[in-house]
Structure 1
Amino acid sequence: QDRVQKRSNLVRTMRTLASKILRAGKGITYAGSLQDVPPPLEKPLTNYIKESNSRMVHLVPLKEPSPFMSPSGKKRSTKPPRTIGVLIIEKTEESWLTPLLAERAETVATHVSTAMQNARTHQGVFLLPLWKWLGRGCGLFEGRTFLKVLLFVLLFVGVTGGLMLVPAPYRVEGKGKFLPVKQQDIFAPWDGEVVAIFVKSGQRVEAGQPLVKLQNVDLETQLIETQNTYEEKRQLLVTLVSSIQAAHAKYDRAEEIRLRGRHAQTQIEMQGLKARIDRLQKQIASLTITAPLAGTVATFQLEQMLSHRPVSRGERLLEIMDEDGDWHLELDVPENRLGHLMSAQLKAPSEALPVDFVLATKPENTYVGTLKKTASRTDVSVEEGSIVKVEVQVNKPELPNCRIGAEVQGKIHCGDKSLFYVLFGDVVEFVQRRVW
């Protein structure tokens, strides 16, 4: 037959018997008796003999051949070889296995095992049809050195020319955050200790609403001392008025003039003390910090961060942002990309370059904004190194689920450059920096 009929009874019984041998991993020989055949193999062997009319069947398991050399630095595996197939030898006229046939069967099994393993390895090569197609193409130039060189030169010139001549959009990437435009940092007006927190993280507050209360023991002590001194001066003033009246009644002009001088001096001192008291009271009142604008408390874990904590004057306590107003992006652009950005701004009709960006909270959608402002100085970022901050204007109604501080990946359109520079611009700039 030219083709094997897979559905025939003989082929099916042969396949069943071979699968049993594969699992067992040991060969068997049938020479007219089932006495030496293991019980699990009796039924499939009997069915096969009925279909094939064989008087002798010799089944040899094909073992996976071991490599000629073990990998360097590794011990040769001690596991038994894996069974990858079964060699079936049958005789229809004689019912015994001769020693010569058994020896030849083992030799054939060794060669067949090697051939099967090589075929399995060959078929397991990744993208085998592609490599075959490439091999057939390269075979056309076998022994033709000039054609090979010519083809390589043409391919190189074509690819290089295409990369240099084909324009492609060049975009400067930057990472940043999505924030409201209107925001205000709240700083400590004086040294002190946080004794009360009136708001929570994420709470909506109105302008003038108390946020945090500080306590400064030194200011309170100064206020008490100043008030006591002021009271002493007030009582002294009352005493001086009585003494002036007594001196006037006695016509003691010199004493009266002296007392009136002390009276005037005490009044001046009291005015200074009163001004100091007012100033201290205002300072103490300013320790109850209020919201300068309506918005949302954007500082995370406010209670854990500030509760009963000593703070210094000018230290930032919390941050308020107006979520109802306009929003923008604050992107960190690597300093080595700033030249492309500025060049694109000079060439564009306006400096408002288009920006594509995606939000970390909704990465499946791409949104569009315009470049609004570029910082005039360079900052240092732990992750990116030297960076320049830029602000991007966005249309808030197009952005659902706005979250303060959401991470953003933005790409600023800087016009067209050659496809070669778009793909390998980093390499070109690296060579320019090192060689120049």
Structure 2
Amino acid sequence: MKIVSYWAKWRANLTRAKRKVLLKKIGLSVGVGALILLCPLPYRIIGTATLLPIESETIATTRIARVIELFVSPGQSVSKDQPLCQLGVIQIQLSISQAMQELAQAEAMAKRALAANDEGSLQLALHEANCIETQIDRLELEKARSTVKAPFDGVVLGPHNLTQLKGEVLLPGTTLIYMANLQYWKVQTTVREADFIYLQKRLKRKGSMYATLSLISDPTRLYDLELNNPSQFSFSTDSLKNDYTYMVNLPFTADLEKNQTDFKSHYLGEVAIYAGWRPIYYILFHDFANFLEVRNL
């Protein structure tokens, strides 16, 4: 009640002229504020960045095998098809010899069935011979793969216990070699779903977009990037959390010949993608929405 009475007294003390001046001032302030909020500014979409080689490969064992010989060590540069290590083939060779004997028996059975004009036994023997030949081809391929070769030109990066693998018997799925081509890199940038959709529309409508990368290892330096192709967009699914991760893959074109040793896989940083000009009110609202989303997480 006191507030209402104070308000009534204040209005009574104001003359009509003073009211007009006050309303003009308020209207002018609101108008200036609205004009400021409508002023355009460069609109940046910020994402978490991970530096990755474009070409990398993890070579794992496909069978139980003993590592007979290692031809490389971590940090060594290799060429495509260069031998990296040799796995044992004694068990495979024994399996091939046994399969060859079974094949000879199946072919002899087929000859006897043909001579006896026994169509049923002939078809059964031919089918068994075909199965054995398929098995031999598979074993020969596995034998050829026992000499592990580099799939491309690159650098051997791991695993960390690579030098200790010689003589060890490895189970299927054990990592033998991890290598990558350190001349070509990409920046995998994780963004929000709304920003992901906006960038796709913006690229389709306006063309390429400029971006910058700042690495945590050297925050004082910015690297230039470019988003210019729809194929740079990708997403992945987490079936356990029923969640999506939206990514923008940007080619990293720094002078790697001089600084190749300065970059390592999975370096982290921040990418800013410049997506044109937007009014100040839009940028403020966008940042506020991001803040609320982070707080809710």
Q: Same fold (TM over 0.5)?
A: yes
Provide closer, same or farther for how the CA distance between residues 423 and 216 of structure 1 changes in structure 2, counting only shifts above 3 A.
farther
Could you report, residue by residue, the CA deviation over 1:81-121 in whole angstroms, capped at 9, with x for unpaired residues? xxxxxxxxxxxxxxxxxxxxxxxxxxxxxxxxxxxxxxxxx
Q: For residue 320 of structure 1, give the secondary structure of its aligned residue in structure 2.
A: strand
Task: Count residues with an aligned counterpart.
Answer: 256
Of 312, 327, 345, which residue of structure 1 is paired with 2:172?
A: 312
Q: Match for 2:39: what amino acid? A: V
Higher strand fraction (1 or 2): 2
Provide closer, same or farther for how the CA distance between residues 380 and 158 of structure 1 changes in structure 2, counting only shifts above 3 A.
farther
Provide closer, same or farther for how the CA distance between residues 277 and 398 of structure 1 changes in structure 2, counting only shifts above 3 A.
closer
Q: Match for 1:408: what amino acid? A: G
Of 23, 44, 47, which residue of structure 2 is paired with 1:171?
A: 44
Q: Distance in 1 between matches of 2:223 and 2:292?
A: 35
Q: Distance in 1 between matches of 2:222 and 2:82?
A: 38
Alignment of 1:293-308 (within 5 A): 293-303=152-162, 308=168
How far 1:193 sits from its partner (Å)? 3.6
Q: Distance in 2 between matches of 1:272 and 1:409?
A: 56
Q: Any conservation in 2 of the 1:192–1:216 contact (CA below 8 Å)? A: no
Q: Any conservation in 2 of the 1:185–1:316 contact (CA below 8 Å)? A: no
Structure 2 unaligned spans of 5+: 1-12, 109-114, 117-121
Partner of 1:185: 57
- After TM superposition, which residue ranges in structure 1, 4 or more long, deviate above 6 angstroms? 144-147, 149-152, 267-272, 304-307, 429-432
Partner of 1:200: 73
Q: Distance in 2 between matches of 1:293 and 1:398?
A: 18
How far 1:150 sits from its partner (Å)? 6.7
Of 206, 222, 226, which residue of structure 1 is paired with 2:95?
A: 222
Q: Any conservation in 2 of the 1:188–1:311 contact (CA below 8 Å)? A: no
1:160 aligns with 2:33: yes
Q: Distance in 1 between matches of 2:170 and 2:46?
A: 41
1:421 aligns with 2:282: yes
1:375 aligns with 2:233: yes
- More RCO (CA 8 Å, sep 6+): 2
How far 1:425 sits from its partner (Å)? 1.5
Alignment of 1:65-214 (within 5 A): 153=26, 157=30, 160-181=33-54, 183-188=55-60, 190-193=62-65, 195=67, 196-214=69-87
How far 1:228 sits from its partner (Å)? 4.9
Of 364, 368, 384, which residue of structure 1 is paired with 2:220?
A: 364
Of 115, 134, 146, which residue of structure 2 is paired with 1:287?
A: 146
How far 1:293 sits from its partner (Å)? 1.0
Partner of 1:347: 205
How far 1:294 sits from its partner (Å)? 1.0
Q: For residue 345 of structure 1, give the secondary structure of its aligned residue in structure 2.
A: helix
How far 1:201 sits from its partner (Å)? 2.5
Partner of 1:131: none
How far 1:312 sits from its partner (Å)? 3.1
Provide closer, same or farther for how the CA distance between residues 332 and 316 of structure 1 changes in structure 2, counting only shifts above 3 A.
farther
Partner of 1:92: none
How far 1:364 sits from its partner (Å)? 0.9
Q: For residue 43 of structure 2, give the secondary structure of its aligned residue in structure 1.
A: strand
Q: Match for 1:225: what amino acid? A: Q
Could you report, residue by residue, the CA deviation over 1:47-85 in whole angstroms, capped at 9, with x for unpaired residues? xxxxxxxxxxxxxxxxxxxxxxxxxxxxxxxxxxxxxxx
Partner of 2:112: none
Provide closer, same or farther for how the CA distance between residues 361 and 277 of structure 1 changes in structure 2, counting only shifts above 3 A.
same
How far 1:170 sits from its partner (Å)? 1.0
What's the TM-score once normalised by structure 1's chain length? 0.47
Q: Distance in 1 between matches of 2:92 and 2:143?
A: 7
Please provide the CA RMSD for this pair: 4.5
Percent identity of equivalent pairs: 22
Q: Distance in 2 between matches of 1:431 and 1:282?
A: 57
When structure 1 is superposed on structure 2, of 418-427 and 216-225 the one drifting more is 216-225
How far 1:158 sits from its partner (Å)? 5.8
What's the TM-score once normalised by structure 2's chain length? 0.65
How far 1:411 sits from its partner (Å)? 0.6
How far 1:341 sits from its partner (Å)? 1.2
When structure 1 is superposed on structure 2, of 168-177 and 207-216 the one drifting more is 207-216
Q: For residue 75 of structure 2, give the secondary structure of its aligned residue in structure 1.
A: coil
